[in-house]
Amino acid sequence: MSINCFHCGEFVPNGIDLITKIDNIAQPMCCIGCQAVAQTIVDNKLTDYYRFRSAPAQKGEVLVPEQLQRNEILDDDNLQDEFTYVQDGFKEAILTIDGISCSACAWLIEMQLSKFKGVKKVNVNATTQRATVRWQAQQIKLSEILNLIDKIGYQALPFKASNAETINKRQTKSFIKRLGISGILMMQVMMIAFGLYFGAFSDMAAHNKVYLRWASFFLTLPIVTYGAYPFYKSAFYALKARQLSMDVPVSIAICLAFLASVWATFSQRGEVYFESVSMFTFLILIGKFLEFRARTRAADVSANLLKLMPMTATKLEQGKESIVAAAHLQAGDTILIKPGETVPADSVIIAGKSQVNEAMLSGEQLPLHKTAPDQIYAGTINGDGNLNAKVKHGNQESFLSQLIRLSESAQGYKPKLAKLSDKIAQYFVALILFVATVTAIYWSQHQPEQAFWITLSVLVVTCPCALSLATPTALTCATTRLNREGILIKSAHVLETMPEIDAIAFDKTGTLTTGEFSITTIKTYGPFAKENGQDGEQQVLAIAAALEAHSAHPLAKAFSHYRDFNQTASQVVVSPGAGIAGTVNDFSYRIGKSSWLLTNNQAHSAQCVLMQNEQLVAEFYLSDSTRADAQALISYLQSEKVKTLMLSGDHEVGCNQLQKQLRLDNVQANLSAQDKVNAIKQQQATHTVAMVGDGVNDTPVLGAAHLSIAMGSGTDIAKNGADVILLSNKLNNIATLKQVSERTTRIIKQNYRWAFAYNAVVLPLAVMGYIVPYMAVIGMSASSIIVVSNSLRLLKK
């Protein structure tokens, strides 16, 4: 009697006597590699893996020096710059893991790594066979992480788009091969079946009938062994792990029909069902393949984005051009981007002008005019001009890489409804098997000749797969659609929370307005007054510019044109939402809001005032234009019964003017950062609130809201704290976000309604004998395809 390896499932060769005690039971191992991996799993108290896995592990291998050396090479900092991202002292990388076959594999890897000091986060996606790992480099090396994964039977390498494409092609090739062989043989079996059908009415000779049955048997054998093998494999390991998957009743149906036909062929009694088994298996394979293609179409977004990155770049050194690997570019390098080339790294233009297409990042189809000192992003396409640019940072810190990481994180989220449906699906198969057993008993007593077919239909017609597919396909498609529109979903709960939002608060500057200020009027006082014979305006502008150079507030940009580099500010203190204090030319100055600086409570309409010590020396009046799409968005939100508010730190006069223009429901001015947080909390007593902001002082209030949205031009700290980033800087994308999220919720609910309604209708019909097996196969496959196709509608506008 042959013995299979408990770990990998392969035969244990004669003479091999290797065992590992798992849950106090001695289990056979086929080689030292499998024994070592199994012992590692036992030592780390991870034996639950063997109970929950639905497929065998990859054959274990003892780590050889070559593998250890390969992993150690990846510890090189220069090499890691190509695939790691550093944030808050932690490194993060996406790894491709070979050997993952089920969710239990993902659980095992997560448990194995999370126990070790220095590993902050491990998230393994069994579907994409990728893992996101964040670690502290001072406490654990990347090679040690890879070795830990290798020790439990998997192989991990840094993720590349080419690897994902290779896996996808391999799976597609396998599907097509099984479909091709099964389809060709199925057609031959069907032709023979016609001969048997007609022979029943034309007194076919007995030996011819036997010959045709044997021919059908040999043609069907490869279909039920090779074509249906994935169903058996999945069903076997599901049962071994004490789980029930949809492949269990499918496998039972195929085996029962085939074995009944084999018995009839050998005994030369009864009917054969080879043509039904062949067609049944072929139709299921078609359904699985169409489902696979639909899912991969929506799930390959990250890999496709990575393909935007060019392999090489033109580097400029002392006026000479050289071709280098784009991945090796470092901050400070000077590069040349020629017409039609893809930008290789996030950079700042230092010479030249051109039109740059950013559609792949922001959704903006029209090329944007770029010149020094504008920023350009990796993956965008240069137009008809040469650009000299200075690299801002490496590829792993690029805007495109961040977009990919955040998209993958959002797509892995499971809403409450999805978690509930997963639990229901687990028990659903058990219900199918119970109903099939009762059906077989009933019909065998009333119409024995129909019992087999009716039981077969019951096993096949129901489809819990649709329940499992209802949410993930919809979320993936919605995230993809929003990315195309220039809307980046950073937090996983956005699509679930947005439909519940009934109040949206906006910041004023840089959000409802463009944030592109210009100074219209200057009033000078004291030593800078005109009557004192001083060129007061130029002097106060230079002083103000020196102070504002330390601020990221949109108002500060208005002073950048007046910067005198001979005047610098020292001892600078920034008060978020208020202003800046510092020393210029040995004098103490403060610049900011009049409500912060003036103690006489006089009303000032100036957006900004400058104080020398305690004396007012200048007032600055600035103008800012309202965003072109602000009015349309506010009108849309109000038509949807969403309350609109503006929470601003700006002067009351400007805020009231904007309220009249946009007809906002409520406006609060002269607010500090804490005042904004308090205002949000007050609204949260009766509303689900979203906050739309831009700027440093918006970060606390963004964190306080149920949902936070940052404009694409906002500062990095505001972006990092937001749930959604509007990459294209278009306010009307908030309407798109609301519409897509509401549509996503509707489609998810439609998917669940269809899945439950389909099963509720077809199961009783199958039990009563109204559904024949081939109809059951078509119905089961169609159910999953309908759910996936319904979700794919989210990709369309």
The single residue listed with the structure tokens 């297409």 is 357
Distance CA 522, CA 593 (A): 15
Average pLDDT, integer, range 569-586:
86
Where are the extended beta strands (E) located within 418-569? 487-489, 503-506, 518-524
Q: What single string gives the DSSP state of each residue in 642-660? A: -EEEEE-SS-HHHHHHHHH
Average pLDDT, integer, range 503-515:
87
Question: CATH number for the 313-393 domain, one of 2.60.40.3880, 2.70.150.10, 3.40.50.720, 1.10.443.10?
Answer: 2.70.150.10
646, 549 Cβ separation under 8 angstroms: no
Amino acid type, 416 = K
pLDDT bin (cut points 50, 70, 90) of residue 642 is very high
Predicted local distance difference test score (pLDDT) of residue 137: 85
Q: Is the pLDDT of residue 468 over 70?
A: no
Residue 375: how many CB atoms within 10 A of its CB? 12
Q: Which residues face 573 on adjacent strands? A: 581
Predicted local distance difference test score (pLDDT) of residue 703: 80
Tokens of 143: 């090679």
Task: Return the HEC string of 406-459.
Answer: HHHHHHCCCCHHHHHHHHHHHHHHHHHHHHHHHHHHHHHHHCHHHHHHHHHHHH
Average pLDDT, integer, range 161-189:
80
**What are the structural domain ranges in the chain?**
65-163, 166-300+414-473+750-795, 313-393, 494-513+626-722, 518-623
Own/partner pairs for 574-582, CB < 8 Å, 24+ apart? Answer: 574/550, 576/673, 576/696, 576/697, 577/649, 577/671, 577/672, 577/673, 577/697, 578/649, 578/672, 579/608, 580/547, 580/548, 580/550, 580/551, 581/547, 582/546, 582/547, 582/550
Q: Is the pLDDT of residue 302 over 80?
A: no
pLDDT digits (tens, 9 = 90+) for 58-114: 665 544 445 555 677 777 777 677 677 777 788 888 887 776 655 556 777 887 788
DSSP 8-state symbol, 509? I
Fold of 494-513+626-722: Rossmann fold (3.40.50)
C-alpha count within 13 angstroms, C-beta hemisphere, residue 295: 22
Average pLDDT, integer, range 316-341:
85
Q: Is the pLDDT of residue 452 over 70?
A: yes
Q: Residue 18, exposed/middle/buried by CB under 10 A (0-12, 13-18, 19+)?
A: middle
CA distances from 103 to 49, 99, 124, 252, 430 (A): 10, 12, 9, 23, 20
Quote the longest CA-to-CA distance of the chain.
125
Which has the higher per-residue pLDDT, 686 or 153?
A: 686
Predicted local distance difference test score (pLDDT) of residue 717: 40
Closest-CA residue to 403 (of 728, 130, 745, 743)? 728
To the nearest 10 degrees (0 to 180), the angle between helices 274-299 and 472-484 is: 40
Which residues, in sequence order, are CB contacts of 273 under 8 Å at separation 6+?
257, 258, 260, 261
Predicted local distance difference test score (pLDDT) of residue 425: 61
Radius of gyration from C-alpha coordinates of the chain:
34
Instruction: Please state the CATH superfamily assignment of the domain spanning residues 518-623 in this structure.
Output: Calcium-transporting ATPase, cytoplasmic domain N (3.40.1110.10)
What is the architecture, at CATH level 2, of domain 65-163?
A: 2-Layer Sandwich (3.30)
Pairing status of strand 487-489 against strand 724-726: antiparallel
Q: Is the pLDDT of residue 567 over 80?
A: yes
Predicted local distance difference test score (pLDDT) of residue 378: 85
Q: Which of 160-169, 446-455, 493-502 has the lowest mean pLDDT?
A: 160-169
Q: Is the pLDDT of residue 289 over 60?
A: yes
Torsion of CA 490, 491, 493, 498, to 10 degrees: -50
Predicted local distance difference test score (pLDDT) of residue 162: 57
Distance CA 223, CA 246 (A): 19
